[in-house]
Amino acid sequence: MKRTKRERQTALKESINDNPFVTDEELSAEFNVSVQTIRLDRMELSIPELRERIKHVAVKTFEDEVKSLPIDEVIGEIIDIELDEKAISIFDVKQEHVFQRNQIARGHHLFAQANSLAVAIMNEELALTVKSELQFLRPVKAGQRIVAKATVIERQPEKNRAFVKVVSTVDQVTVFIGTFEMYRMTEQSEGEVG
């Protein structure tokens, strides 16, 4: 039996509440209606598109978790984080991020995404980058999405250090690798920078 529009919209709202990351295409299959119908239903219900929902959930979720810097200072959008373990962020390369002549992203944007993710992953009020080793492997162009995955690969608590490896990909092809040595300020070590 086919649902009425009201029943479908109620169920749609519940589906999106249960899984804010569900795509319009998945909802279309679930409710056996066109993608356009799903979009119209979302508009009538004032439910934002997937990208906005991801941003909202990420900000709401990670604002309380990330200690080392305000969430709006992270370059890119954090979409997953486990403090002192791993994190993922996405960064969409726009016209303002590229050299106009060749449309290739400026390297400091890739570095900033990776470095801010390495800082954000630290379960500390203050975390600073001591040193980094970078490899730019392939050019990134306007319109591409960079997915950066950070992993804490080593901890040296006696030296207040942690090492974070960040691998950035575009369409699952590695474009950048960075290893960051992070200084972690703990309560006992205040005043011992260096």
Q: Convert the pLDDT of each residue in 117-148 to its tens digit.
A: 999 999 888 888 999 999 999 999 999 999 99
Q: What is the mean pLDDT of the chain?
A: 86
List strand residue ranges (DSSP E) for 6-144, in order: 77-82, 86-92, 126-136
User: Structure tokens of 22?
Assistant: 């569900």
Phi and psi, residue 76, nearest 5°? 95, 180
User: Structure tokens of 32?
Assistant: 């056996």
Contact 34, 28 (CB under 8 A): yes
3-state secondary structure (DSSP) of residue 75: coil
Bridge partners of residue 170, in order along the sequence: 173
List strand residue ranges (DSSP E) for 36-186, in order: 77-82, 86-92, 126-136, 145-156, 161-170, 173-185
Mean pLDDT of 14-21: 82
Contact 133, 118 (CB under 8 A): no
Mean pLDDT of 49-64: 62
Share of the chain above pLDDT 90, in %: 60
Contact 131, 163 (CB under 8 A): no
Contact 120, 72 (CB under 8 A): no
Contact 130, 192 (CB under 8 A): no
Contact 76, 89 (CB under 8 A): yes
pTM of the model: 0.64
> Tokens 């356009």 appear where?
36
Q: Which residue, among 151, 154, 148, 152, has the nearest Cα to 176 in the 3D structure? A: 148
84-121 residue pLDDT tens: 999 999 999 999 999 999 999 999 999 999 999 999 99
Q: Cα(first)–Cα(last) distance of the chain, in Å? A: 70
Contact 102, 155 (CB under 8 A): no
pLDDT for position 66: 65
